[in-house]
Every structure is written in structure tokens, then in C-alpha cells.
Amino acid sequence: MSVQLGNDFRYLASQMLQCEPDVAWPAREEAAAGYVAAASIAYKTYQVQEQLKLQSIFAETNHFADLSEDQEYQRAESAVAELLHLCTDGQPLVDDHLYHELVGALVETVSVLAVDSVLAMEDITEVESQRIESLMKGLESMQRLFRNDNLQLSSVATFAPHWLKMCYTTELLVSDRHI
């Protein structure tokens, strides 16, 4: 709802500026700026709401702790699927750049939570390591949300700085098992 409201405010601002553009009308520019500011607030509200949802979903996984239990692992798999759905949910509602900013903040939240949780574990069994790797690989599929059609490159690290740390953590788990 917040994203749609933000889109409406952006639309109203653009329409106001197109209304008799040759006539100087300071109130028009002021009102348009107010709509742009309201759109920013609406988008920020959406971002905060979604980050809170992500944190709640991630908390349900017991922060990837004790994944040796099948029930805990299945709960974590469901949470990762829900996170992926949450991140793709708003895509058709906004332009690409704004979408990348909004989802980038969500991906950053997930990356930080995942890495911090894994690094806080004192002892990781081989089974847990494999399961964490599987979950992290699932999270890494969010990279496709940041593909640039022109370059075929992902810009996820631009919008989620901890993304690379999460990818490296996964690689460390894999390499540690092969030593």
C-alpha cells in the first residue's frame, strides 16, 4: 500500500509540473516538491515495514542455529522461500532504480542477519554446514533481482554492501568442509 501511495504522490507531482509549464507559479513548484517528499516518506515506510517483516521471518528460523534438526531446517527453508517472495513482491510497482533501492535495503538486512548468525555459532557440524550452505545459496538467488539487462551483470553489492560478505561466508563453509 505504501508503494502505491508513493507512486500516486510521484504522479501528482509530475502532473502538477506539467500544468501550464510556461506560467510561473511558485505554489505549483512548492506543492510538487511536497508530493515528492511525501512519496519519499511512503517509500521509506514501505522499506521499514518490509525490514521488520524480514527480521521477524528470520527470527523464526532461530537464526540458523541447530539446523541438525529436520524440523528446524524445514522451517528455515520455508523462511528463505518467504524472504525471496517478499523481495520480489514489489517489483512490478515501481521503476527499476527505486525497486533496486528498496529491495537492496531488504537484501542488506538479510545479508547482515545471516552472516552475523553464522559467525556467532561456536561449533558447526558438517550437517549444519551443508544446510547453512543450502540456505545461503537460496538467499544468493536474490542476485537475479539486480540484473541489468544491458550488461547481464548484477548490481546487488551496490545496493546491499554486505552481500559479498554473505557470499564469502558461504564459500568459507564449503571450503572448510573440504579441508
What integer pLDDT is reported at residue 22 of this predicted model?
A: 76
Closest alpha carbon to 155 in 43, 163, 57, 76 = 163
* C-alpha of 53 from chain center: 11
Instruction: Say whether pLDDT at 148 is over 90.
Output: no
Question: Which tens digit of pLDDT belongs to each residue from 46-72?
Answer: 888 888 887 887 777 777 777 888 888
By DSSP bridging, strand 153-154 and strand 147-148 are antiparallel
Band of residue 90 on the pLDDT scale cut at 50, 70, 90? low
Average pLDDT over residues 138-149: 77
For 91-126, how does the pLDDT look when each residue is reduced to its tens digit (9 = 90+)? Answer: 667 777 888 888 888 888 888 888 888 888 888 888
Handedness of CA 95, 98, 102, 108 (dihedral sign): positive
What is the predicted pLDDT for the residue at 149?
60
Q: pTM for the whole thing?
A: 0.72
Question: For the chain, which residues make up each domain, given as ranges?
Answer: 43-176
Rounded mean pLDDT of the chain?
A: 81
Q: Strands, E, within 126-169: which ranges?
A: 147-148, 153-154
Confirm if 99 and 10 have CB atoms less than 8 A apart: no
Instruction: Please tell me the predicted confidence (pLDDT) of residue 153.
Output: 52
Report the pLDDT value the prediction gives residue 150, as an integer from 0 to 100: 58
**Nearest to 19, CA basis, from 31, 4, 6, 34:** 31
